[in-house]
Structure 1
Amino acid sequence: MSDVAFRLKSLHVYPVKSCAGVSVDEALLIETGLEFDRAWMVVDPDGVFVTQRELPRMALVRPTLRWQDVVLRAPGMLALHLALDTVEQPLRVRVWDDEVPAFDMGPLAAQWFSDFLGRPLRLVRFDPSHKRLSSKRWTGAVDAENAFSDGYPLLVASTGSLDELNRRLAAAGQAPVTLARFRPNLVLEGLDAHAEDTLDELRFETPDGPVRLKLVKPCPRCPMPDIDPETAEVGHAVGDVLAGYRADARVDGALTFGMNAVLLEGVERALRPGLAGEASYRFD
């Protein structure tokens, strides 16, 4: 028996970690979340990941997912095509505290990112044979696999939460923002503001069978929501407003927006916007 009903409003994939996302009409669930989500990552010459936190212009790298390739575009740059079935030299890279195997995407991709972002960089692809797991502190008995995401395979947010943030931004004399600042994979509608904080399991019935996701950890927010995804300009209004009402004791007082989720059931099943969903409340 469900406690609350909602609708899946939109789906978003971020092929290159910390670059712009893609809204998709269908997304296949694989062990690490949505297919092609954070499958690629930009690294420095030492193999350490870089993000918008240090290079805000990464927000301007916009991918297009096609049948056989991903096309990356950025202002002033020719398009870069990445074949979905091609990788080059294996190497080791670091994402947060994890050192993981990956594949270098070659000198052309390296030069493209280095030219656009103004420092020596390379592009790598995650090695799917490696199992990079989320923290068991939050997932319990679930072995939740990740590609290059920050730590969990899926991020869930709601339109109700965005509406509340924009109401508070307006009251502070600030312009509204979009959920692109928060980079969710699943956007839900029909929920009260931040209702996702209190939910336990999300369930969808797809034509291929059921999909079950468990919401496991509030998502702490770094300065990235204050980077305008359209211009890469850095501000402070979003963080200032969140500080007034989103400090979360569950993560030591960090400011949170959205919930990290893991997959309980549904590998090789597809999600589509418009799906009806239901959820149960979490009782800690």
Structure 2
Amino acid sequence: MPTLAELYVYPLKSCRGNAVARALATPTGLLHDREWLLATPEGDFITARSDPQLVSVTAELWPGMVLFSAPGQPPVAALATRYTEHARAKVWGDAFDARHGDARVDAWFSELVGRPCRLLWLGETSQRRREALREPLSFADGYPYLLANRASLAALNAAIAPPVPMRALRPNLVVDGALPWAEDGWRRLRIGEVEFEVASPCTRCVLTTIDPDTARRRTDGEPLKTLARERRYADGVHFGINLVARNAGVLETGARVEIIA
């Protein structure tokens, strides 16, 4: 039976993922996952698609705050209590209320990306609603969870050199012990005490071509080049599956992954 091999939380959208052994799963997503967003002064979201250096940002979670660090810059702390100003956030087609606060943190990120920007906090409760989802959503692209399969990545990497690390695919949940591409046929699954429904395959973009160790795009265009050849569908190229959680509960690495349907 497959098991949950890896768990990742991304406190800031597009930042380096934090590998954890245990996390609280909610219908909105893993606790603290993508609850901070870098945005333009107008509120439009900024990601590593346009600013690859964001994948080098480490976001260390502490009670009530996040400590951000990046190569060549001193760390800076964002305290949630300072984020009280209402601000409009825009993520893809969704516009919703978020929180803005500390100009010092804005300046830190503006220096990192080389243009004016500001940091937004999701707030205690997300105000983002999507018609396809029953629950609020964080600053994630479209769904609360992304699951990837180690065997599928190994199959993909058989045609790629140097191989693409799992971190470049930016999943929340990584399973081991399943057949390559078995996840294509999954519809419902249970991990520990949490039941998930598969919402859709995950269509992949240029973000996957950014090396998480160097924060630079691969010159060979991988893994998109191979995905375009082997995993192309009408809506794009697929790797991984988007999930929604039907209940809250604790996830732990090593937990069994039960395929219900």
TM over 0.5: yes
Aligned partner of residue 2 in structure 2, secondary structure: strand
Q: Give the direction of change, closer, same or farther, for the CA distance of 1:135–1:222 in structure 2 (3 Å limit).
A: farther
**1:244 paired to 2:196:** no
Aligned partner of residue 101 in structure 1, secondary structure: strand
Corresponding position of 2:143: 152
Corresponding position of 2:195: 212
Corresponding position of 1:190: 177
Q: Which deviations, in whole Å up to 9, do the C-alpha atoms of 1:47-85 show, x marking residues without a partner?
A: 100111111111111112234432111011111112355
Tell me, yes or no, if the aligned pair for 2:13 and 2:34 is still in contact at 8 Å.
Answer: yes
Aligned partner of residue 156 in structure 2, secondary structure: helix
Letter in 1 for 2:109: F
How far has the Cα of 1:128 moved from its partner? 4.2
1:133-148 residue pairs with structure 2 within 5 A?
133-136=129-132, 143-148=134-139
Letter in 2 for 1:264: R
How far has the Cα of 1:263 moved from its partner? 0.9
Identity %: 35
From 236, 242, 247, the equivalent of 1:260 is 242
1:1-284 residue pairs with structure 2 within 5 A?
5-136=1-132, 143-169=134-160, 174-205=161-192, 210-235=193-218, 236-249=221-234, 252=235, 254-265=236-247, 267=248, 269-281=249-261
Aligned partner of residue 46 in structure 1, secondary structure: coil
| Higher alpha-carbon deviation: 194-203 or 8-17 | 194-203
Aligned partner of residue 153 in structure 2, secondary structure: helix
Tell me, yes or no, if the aligned pair for 2:84 and 2:100 is still in contact at 8 Å.
Answer: yes
Q: Which deviations, in whole Å up to 9, do the C-alpha atoms of 1:196-240 show, x marking residues without a partner?
A: 1110111133xxxx2101111111111011011111111212111
Tell me, yes or no, if the aligned pair for 1:145 and 1:153 is still in contact at 8 Å.
Answer: no
What stretches of structure 2 of length at least 5 have no aligned partner? none
Letter in 2 for 1:188: V
Q: Which deviations, in whole Å up to 9, do the C-alpha atoms of 1:24-57 show, x marking residues without a partner?
A: 1211112311001010000011110011111111
Q: Give the direction of change, closer, same or farther, for the CA distance of 1:103–1:216 in structure 2 (3 Å limit).
A: same
Aligned partner of residue 142 in structure 2, secondary structure: coil
Letter in 1 for 2:100: D
How far has the Cα of 1:145 moved from its partner? 2.6
How far has the Cα of 1:86 moved from its partner? 4.6
Give TM-score, length-normalised by structure 2.
Answer: 0.94
User: What is the rounded CA distance, in whole Å, between the counterparts of 2:144 and 2:125 in structure 1?
Assistant: 16
User: What is the rounded CA distance, in whole Å, between the counterparts of 1:84 and 1:49 in structure 2?
Assistant: 19
Give TM-score, length-normalised by structure 1.
Answer: 0.87
How far has the Cα of 1:144 moved from its partner? 3.7
Q: Give the direction of change, closer, same or farther, for the CA distance of 1:152–1:128 in structure 2 (3 Å limit).
A: farther
User: What is the rounded CA distance, in whole Å, between the counterparts of 1:102 and 1:132 in structure 2?
Assistant: 9
How far has the Cα of 1:248 moved from its partner? 2.3
User: What is the rounded CA distance, in whole Å, between the counterparts of 1:134 and 1:88 in structure 2?
Assistant: 24
RMSD (Å), alpha carbons:
1.5
The aligned length equals 259
Aligned partner of residue 260 in structure 2, secondary structure: strand
